[in-house]
Amino acid sequence: MTTREEIVALDKALVWHPYTPMRKYIDEVDPVVVERAEGIYLHDKNGARLIDGNGSWWVSVLGHGHPRLVAALTRQAAAFAHTSLAGATHEPAVRLAEALLPRCGPSYTRVFYSDDGSTAVEVAVRMAVQYWRLRGRPRRNRLVSLSGAFHGETLGAASVSDAGVFHDALGPLLFDCIRLPAPALAGRWYDRAFAQTEEILRQRADEVAAVIVEPLVQGAAGMLMHPPEYLARLGALCRELDVLLVADEVFVGYGRTGSFLASHQAAIEPDIVCLAKGFSGGMLPMAATVTTDRVFSEFLGGPERTLWYGHSFTGNPLGAAVALEVLKVLDDERLIEGLPPKCEALRRGLDRVSGHPWVHDARRTGLIGAFTLAHPESGSANANYLDDAGWRFHAEARKRGALLRPLGNVIYFVLPLNVAAPQIDELFAIVQESLEAAFG
């Protein structure tokens, strides 16, 4: 059997890690070496048990190893693992569409499958721009997004993002977007942010294909939260100006904010919805871009009306079978209905640590919680990706049994919907001790 040391040595010699300064990683980091995982726990090969406090980059919506997802995957693998979705189809793809669309809302009639959050957004961007060409309005080709937005890593998804250090190296490869002030960045004065948004959109609607937004929580920007009212007003404005609205629900969808889609809390139906991460229960890369007849019907016609897009694994049967099972588990275990006591435990935990002098701006939307670390005398608690306070905290939390990879100085909690309230209390006992160990 390969030892832990051998795995780490091979890893450091051969593997290039995502979003990782590799010199420091190779010289200094002792990575977690996961041997198995169940529920909210990851087990390191060295015997340590760690709470997966960030849900493995926000994908683990039903925890690790849910037996029904494992069974769905195994059943489908025994039948067939893959076929292209061009000129062929299969039951998992159609049953998933049938179950998914009504859950998103009555206006949704079509789903385009892809591989991950970035491709779900890439599809949305292309759909929106081509939609206006097909309607004979090619000048409507600009995308509009929020300051601090993160929508993924394909060049289209990176262009609509505003992720500073992540995308600086891409320079001229990215296309220009119109930026709106982020509602939570403007000192929570989402009214003021909305007033500026309205001014920009009213002036420029004629050149805009779509506005893209992360509803309720801008994740990678530092878990910046805005109220449903902002979203409702943005939705109404887009309708009035005849601008498409794209909801990037890659992170916030699937119950995380307390409703199946975050957009549901604002009672809006965006024209295009992007889903990934929790969509396939964190088991397989699989994503969907969902839209309405208004958009889809423009694409009915010959080659010039075709969405020339796809990937080898588009509509992968394994991913589709698991994604369908995720929807059934959400229903059968009444997970979204059962969220309130868990959200309450998260609120309790955040209240408990809020008294620590380094903890600022403890915040929560549904089952997503966060706080910002800042020196008690610094006077400012802005999210800062290059601040190392989060990493000091991370090291202490890992020693105590929780894996909490920070976003710079922002510590956040993304737990599966089937977490038990006492497990949240267990996590916050670790958070409290880690804060004291790291900052006194």
The smaller minimum CB distance to ligand PLP, of residues 185 and 250, is found at: 250
Residue 118 sits in the site that holds ligand PLP (CB under 6 A): yes
Dist. CA 36–CA 45, nearest whole Å: 8
Among 151, 226, 264, 360, binds ligand PLP (CB under 6 A): 151
Element (H, E) at 239: helix 228-241
Q: Which stretch binds ligand PLP (CB under 6 A): 87-95, 117-125, 400-408, 418-426?
A: 117-125
| Rounded distance between C-alpha atoms, residue 236 and residue 267, angstroms | 10
* Cβ atoms of residues 104 and 288 within 8 Å: no
Q: In this chain, which of 219, 222, 258, 366 binds ligand PLP, going by CB under 6 A?
A: 219
Smallest CA-to-CA distance from 111 within 273, 233, 223 is with 273
Strand partners for 359: 373
Do residues 352 and 370 make contact, with C-beta atoms less than 8 angstroms apart? Answer: no
Tell the smallest beta-carbon distance from residue 277 to ligand PLP (Å): 6
**117 binds ligand PLP, rule: CB under 6 A:** yes
Closest CB to ligand PLP among residues 151, 398: 151
CB of 210 to ligand PLP, least distance (A): 15
Q: Give the single-character DSSP code of 260.
A: S
Nearest Cα neighbor of 121 from 276, 280, 226 is 276
- Using an 8 Å Cβ cutoff, are 108 and 290 in contact? yes
Q: Which is nearer to ligand PLP, 134 or 223 (CB)?
A: 223
Number of H helices, E strands in the chain: 14, 16
Q: Which is nearer to ligand PLP, 121 or 123 (CB)?
A: 121
User: Which tokens go with 11?
Assistant: 């890893």
Site string for ligand PLP, 63-92 (x = CB under 6 A): ------------------------------
Report how far residue 72's alpha carbon sits from residue 45's, in angstroms, rounded to the nearest whole number.
27
Does 121 sit near ligand PLP (CB under 6 A)?
yes
Q: Which amino acid is at 315?
A: G
Kindly state the number of chain residues that form the binding site for ligand PLP, as judged by CB under 6 A.
15
The minimum distance between CB 118 and ligand PLP, in angstroms, equals 3
SS3 380: coil
Pairing of the two strands 142-146 and 108-114: unpaired
Smallest separation, CB 414 to ligand PLP (Å): 10
Dist CA 312 CA 81 (whole Å) = 13
Which region among 147-155, 222-230, 352-360, 391-399 touches ligand PLP (by CB under 6 A)? 147-155
Site string for ligand PLP, 172-211 (x = CB under 6 A): ----------------------------------------
Of the candidate spans 138-146, 172-180, 244-252, 312-320, the one that interacts with ligand PLP by CB under 6 A turns out to be 244-252
Going from the C-alpha of 28 to that of each of 9, 63, 145, 409, the distances in angstroms are: 12, 30, 37, 20
Cβ-based nearer residue to ligand PLP, 117 or 235: 117
Q: Which of residues 258-297 bind ligand PLP (CB under 6 A)?
A: 276
* Interacting residues toward ligand PLP by CB under 6 A: 116-118, 121, 150-153, 214, 219-220, 248, 250-251, 276
